[in-house]
Structure 1
Amino acid sequence: MAYQHNPCFFLLLLIALSLASNYVIQAEARHLLEITLPELPKPELPHLPEIPILPKPEFPQIPKPELPELPKPEFPTFPKLELPTLPKFKIPSIPKPELPTLPKP
């Protein structure tokens, strides 16, 4: 007969493994905080020779181009269109229904 897997077993196994691995990470972090490293002397770099400063290149000045002034375009004016006025619509009034009065007991 084949063994059938119980999903509840896998869920419990997953929870147990996640709790165990979480404790290990916390423990390792705590050990890293407690470790003191010895101070190492700073290494001294050898003195580098000074680099001579090169003169900045000078470029010839280019004259700025002058743009001719263009006249502003004049557009023709169009006559305003007048729309005809629409007649106002009258909404007919609907009489309100009267509720019957109930006799008081």
Structure 2
Amino acid sequence: MARFNCFILALFIALSFSDGEAAHQLLQLPPLPSLPNLPKPTLPPLPSIPTLPQPTLPTLPATQPSLPKPPLPPLPILPTMPAIPKVTLLGFRIKND
């Protein structure tokens, strides 16, 4: 594994040197000549869009037919809650001082 890491490191350093050398050579090139001013071409006029006839939409019915209502099943009987007996505490007195 250590050999592989050393190989990768050496490859990275070699590529860095080659990239640096290529950049150095590009900086030493003479400047590029300027581009001449070219005339702008004129475009032909766009053709006119023809007007097409508008389609007619069919009329919709004014009222919609009502759907039949199915009979509803009877509601289930809800269970009743038993009455909770009231609890009274006898013999205790709370003082409010």
- TM-score normalised over the length of structure 1: 0.45
